[in-house]
């Protein structure tokens, strides 16, 4: 039987089970939270990002979740420096030129701070002279540090990044550092 779990990855946790860094490294990994042999991440989430990771023991399901060809939306809550105007949001919606090519169009909108969020440890750096704002960004790609590079390209560096949803799976009701077993999707169903 296929195993599928959702995990709310805290800030400053490596999105892998082992740390291939220096010996005695104090960096936390997935193994500090998940003791379930045989499951592996379906996609990555940077160490300095938070939020939803899906893990499974099924290689085909892992590929289906993480491969952009399956057009599975990933929804991020992004706290950015400054307040993006309509032109910045339109640029995100149209696709942004990055060093590794143009991104696919995204869905982007300003939002109020999501009420279901938890405090980050450590908190973001706040500058009294520079306002910040939250945006919701939906993409169907997964390039390295893509969301951070996109917001920086439109003049609004990311301060905090939380992946809230992958396809139909979300973080609803899942505390940071917690995981939950999920029923596997139907083999023919698209998520």
Active site members: 46
**Cα(139)–Cα(178) distance, integer angstroms:** 25
Q: Are 180 and 174 in contact (CB under 8 A)?
A: yes
SS3 163: strand
Write down the residue that tokens 């939803």 correspond to: 52
Closest CA to 55 of 131, 120, 3, 111: 3
């Amino acid at each position: 039987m296929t195993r599928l779990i959702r995990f709310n990855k805290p800030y400053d946790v490596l999105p892998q089970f082992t740390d291939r860094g220096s010996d005695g490294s104090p960096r936390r990994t997935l193994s500090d939270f998940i003791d379930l042999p045989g499951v592996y991440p379906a996609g990555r989430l940077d160490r300095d990002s938070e939020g939803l990771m899906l893990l499974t023991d099924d290689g085909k399901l892992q590929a289906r979740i993480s491969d952009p060809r399956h057009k599975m939306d990933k929804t991020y809550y992004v706290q950015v420096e400054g307040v993006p105007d309509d032109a910045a949001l339109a640029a995100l919606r149209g696709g942004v030129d990055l060093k590794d090519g143009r991104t696919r169009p995204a869905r982007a909108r300003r939002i109020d701070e999501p009420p279901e969020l938890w405090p980050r440890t450590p908190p973001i750096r706040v500058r009294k002279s520079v306002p910040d704002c939250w945006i919701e960004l939906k993409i169907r790609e997964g390039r390295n540090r893509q969301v951070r590079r996109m917001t920086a390209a439109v003049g609004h560096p990311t301060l905090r990044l939380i992946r809230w949803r992958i396809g139909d799976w979300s973080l609803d009701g899942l505390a940071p550092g917690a995981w939950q077993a999920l029923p596997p999707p139907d083999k023919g169903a698209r998520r």
